[in-house]
């Protein structure tokens, strides 16, 4: 499957710890999201334990195209993990962008951007073990202060057979500073494979402006989609229909209450007053949340689920 065989910019839901799981992926797919990533999975733990595999990756037949993101630091472990998930997904992504200290201390995430030969070997390792040209192998990176180092990394990955590269336009040390879209543009112009831009894409206008500034083939959003899962459908704020859909999906798939409630807190933040948010954020049960939504917004009470449609790997 060519995930970028489109005549428009491809839209992507980012890998988010705790949040980009099956139920949320199901929601954003209804609202214009082309590709969804799983949360980051540590490949070594995934391969070590069947229990870890069952808990880390849940999907179903509608959850496509799906990219499984792994944190790994050696080629064989990544390749082995890719082989396990290949029948249930459309690609794997190597996390080369996580800036958290624990990840970098363990040899994962953004520290890999300083090891271009290792990244090349890891991409090639997956390519050698999964030889289907339709199965994607991608990397997600942050940039260096010296953009030439980032371009070198990306070109080595391209030579190894990487399908596309997602670029978060900040360095490891940057958190809330402006995104360096000029750096993303330079990377795009240096490669022949698709490039996806990531960082501060929070509105339909951001999608348009980032594409205009960088010339990328796709855009990836994280916090923007948490606040507005209908972002890629062109909505400025979460429409009430989307809230209703989330309740239906979460109840049907048996989503844990904490996750269900937190997603709604994000979705409603920009369309509710501070007193309303205080009340809503303090609710502690599914019935209390659905009753509040019904009374406040006229959303119907969901039917209890008859079954769990999720397939555990």
* Measured distance CA(181)–CA(186) in Å, rounded: 9
Q: Give Cβ neighbours of residue 176 (< 8 Å, ≥ 6 apart).
A: none
For residue 177, give both structure tokens.
């500073």
Verify whether residue 36 is a known catalytic residue. no
Q: What is the dihedral of CA 259, 260, 262, 267, to 10 degrees?
A: 140
Q: Which of 98, 111, 154, 242 is catalytic?
A: 98
CA distances from 263 to 26, 30, 207 (A): 13, 16, 22
Pairing of strands 218-221, 41-42: unpaired
In contact, 56 and 34? CB cutoff 8 Å: no
Maximum separation of any 2 CA atoms in the chain, in Å: 58
Count CB atoms within 10 A of the CB of residue 11. 24
Extract the runs of DSSP E, i.e. beta strands, from the chain: 10-13, 35-37, 41-42, 58-59, 66-71, 91-96, 136-142, 164-168, 195-198, 218-221, 311-312
Closest of 259, 269, 307 to residue 39, by C-alpha: 259
Terminal Cα distance for the chain, rounded: 21
* Measured distance CA(114)–CA(32) in Å, rounded: 35
**Phi and psi, residue 91, nearest 5°:** 180, 165
Which sequence positions are flagged as catalytic? 98
């Amino acid at each position: 499957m060519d995930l970028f065989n489109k005549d428009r910019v491809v839209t992507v839901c980012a890998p988010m710890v705790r949040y980009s799981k099956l139920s949320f992926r199901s929601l954003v797919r209804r609202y214009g999201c082309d590709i969804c990533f799983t949360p980051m999975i540590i490949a070594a733990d995934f391969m070590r334990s069947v229990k870890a595999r069952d808990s880390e990756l849940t999907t179903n037949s509608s959850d496509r195209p799906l990219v499984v993101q792994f944190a790994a630091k050696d080629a064989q472990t990544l390749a082995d993990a890719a082989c396990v998930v290949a029948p249930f997904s459309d690609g794997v992504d190597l996390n080369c962008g996580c800036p958290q200290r624990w990840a970098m201390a363990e040899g994962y995430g953004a520290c890999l951007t300083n090891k271009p030969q290792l990244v090349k070997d890891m991409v090639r390792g997956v390519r050698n073990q999964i030889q289907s040209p339709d199965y994607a192998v991608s990397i997600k990176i942050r940039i260096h202060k010296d953009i030439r180092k980032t371009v070198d990394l990306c070109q080595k990955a391209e030579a190894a057979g990487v399908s596309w590269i997602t670029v978060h336009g900040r360095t490891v040390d940057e958190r809330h500073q402006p995104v360096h879209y000029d750096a993303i543009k330079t990377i795009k112009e240096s490669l022949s494979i698709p490039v996806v831009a990531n960082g501060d894409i929070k509105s339909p206008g951001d999608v348009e402006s980032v594409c205009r500034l960088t010339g990328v083939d796709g855009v990836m959003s994280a916090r923007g989609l948490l606040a507005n899962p209908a972002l890629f459908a062109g909505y400025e704020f979460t429409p009430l229909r989307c809230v209703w859909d989330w309740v239906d999906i979460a109840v049907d798939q048996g989503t844990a209450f904490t996750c269900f409630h937190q997603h709604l807190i994000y979705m409603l933040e920009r369309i509710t007053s501070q007193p309303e948010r205080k009340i809503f954020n303090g609710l502690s049960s599914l019935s209390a949340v659905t009753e509040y939504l019904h009374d406040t917004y006229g959303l119907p009470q969901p039917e209890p689920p008859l079954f769990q449609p999720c397939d555990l790997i």
